[in-house]
Structure 1
Amino acid sequence: MQEKLAQTSSTTTTIAFGKLRGLSLDIIFVLCEEGKAMRTIDIANVIGKPRKLVYEYLRRMARKGLVNCEQGLWLTLGSADKIFNLLKGQQKDNTKITKRQHQDNTKTTVRQINIDLWINQYNPSEAEEVVVNALVEHYNRTGQAGILLQNPYDYYEHGIHLSPEDFNKARISLQNEGIITWGKYKDKAAWKIALKKDFLMRLKEFEK
């Protein structure tokens, strides 16, 4: 890995990438994918981590010359941009998630559920309805309550056609209401958004 990175980037980038792990890489990905400076709280909301923790990581990254803060807004610097390009290149070569998703999509479930009664009773926002509807359709098609994502923005490719701002607001609200879960998947190679089992049971009860 280090040899490959050394061939495609500067020594500084190679060293920085080798030392970065987990949340630091997530922060770089979010800032670069957004393409604009962001507040700490907005970064934390996308990643799904506490604001204080994200802020501490941002401070460390600033000392390494990866990010900079101007008037409360964080943006990436040159080394971080190179790391982001390397991450994107790795994603194209990563077939693990694609294979798992294909296996999910070939499964079928006997029971079909819908969210009409839930919408009528709880009057969710339009964005919340989009998120839940996409997850329920996935469940009906595959029998799986969750969708695996290559990155926090991959949701759009799975029928959740919302802007990052609208998606994050809806996601946080649905998490607080105990309807969905969100976060890194077991092996840390993917993100996962899923309907909670209790909520699925409620939807099934509506149909009785």
Structure 2
Amino acid sequence: MRLEEYPKLTIIMRGYSFNQSEAILKAMEGFEKDYAVEMTLNTENALENIKKLTEEFGDKINIGAGTVRTLTDAKAAYEAGAKFLLGPHVFTKEMLAFANEKNILAIPAAMTPSEVDQMFKNGADIVKIFPAAVVSPRFFKDIQAPLGKLPLMGVGGVSADNAKDFFDNQATYLGLGSGMFNEEDIKTLNVSNLAKSLQSLLEIVK
């Protein structure tokens, strides 16, 4: 996939069952251009679920893999149909080369200007600043003053309460995890309420 097609917001599905994940993707109807979705590889049956969800929703929704830590992870996620790879730390040159070769977006994580710079030089498409809440929204603006405009994604402690602040400070993308939805709506697979949560976040950040 191309970077221009990547949505501003990514939903992080960690520890959700297949049915819960499927309910979230059903709730995304009409929001396909606003949200991408990633399933973390430390979720039970993650690869199998990515494959099934891609078969069901992949023509409309950008589905990727999260918590990608090794080249083996990257290859397995690609085989399962992931369109992008998100990691909790920097990617090796081999991982970045693999993602570039297979035309899937590489989104490694970094926390310092040096790491950010290195990841882009080695072929990252987006760099995830993690954990973003620890460095604060201002970090995004400050780091781009010397380094120039960069496609940075804030992940870790990002919620509906502070999302606008990150965007106002020049974050290009944000990833939101468990705080994105009401826990009860996830448990009961309440698609219409999940859709309302997606809508309300868009209204906050637009």
TM-score normalised according to structure 1 size = 0.28
Larger relative contact order, structure 1 or 2 (CA cutoff 8 Å, min sep 6): 2
Structure (1 or 2) with the greater strand fraction: 2
Larger Rg: 1
TM-score normalised according to structure 2 size = 0.28
